[in-house]
Amino acid sequence: MNPADEILDIVDEHDRVVDRVPRGEAYARGLRHRCVFVQARDAAGRLFVHRRTATKLVFPSLYDLFVGGVVGAGESYDEAALREAEEELGVTGLPRPRPLFRFLYDDGAGHSWWSAVYEVRCEMPVRPQAEEVEWYGFLTDDEVARRLDEWEWVPDGLAAYERLGEFRSAG
């Protein structure tokens, strides 16, 4: 199926479903929907980082600190987190990602979605989807910190990463 044809739940400012439309229409009209962000680490604790392909509908060719994506119509955040993590990492049998928090991402320019942030440990070899991932690597936290100002990151992932840092330092 063409990703633009996938049906999404459209939600209000309180994350209540108010409509269902195809993804392409949701993006074109700037309708608020749901997304998941899964921070994946390997057995050594290094963070999975990747560059999105040029064919992605949103934020093509930018680097990302999370695997994840949109939550399909009628799908729970938890179901979407596991599905998206396994798809993007190219694995099966991944442990269920652990939910951390949710926030409303809104860039003021038509990109707005409820965002559920998760974490997961992936101790098996990864085979990222070629349609989704142009490049990937497992980086230490220090390597990620050095690249934050060097690489162009997806803005929603960067917002989730910053909020995750605040979440961890508060807990």
Tell me the CA distances in angstroms from 91 to 35, 84, 123, 124, 140, one per residue in order: 20, 10, 10, 8, 21
**How far, in whole angstroms, is CA 120 from its chain's centroid?**
13
| Residue whose pair of structure tokens reads 């936290």 in the numeric block | 141
Share the mean pLDDT of the chain. Answer: 95
Q: Tens of pLDDT along 25-77?
A: 998 999 999 999 999 999 999 999 999 999 987 889 999 999 999 999 999 99
Residue 138's CB: how many other CB atoms inside 10 A? 17
Provide the pLDDT for residue 108. 86
Q: How far apart are CA 49 and CA 42, in angstroms?
A: 11
Provide the pLDDT for residue 129. 87
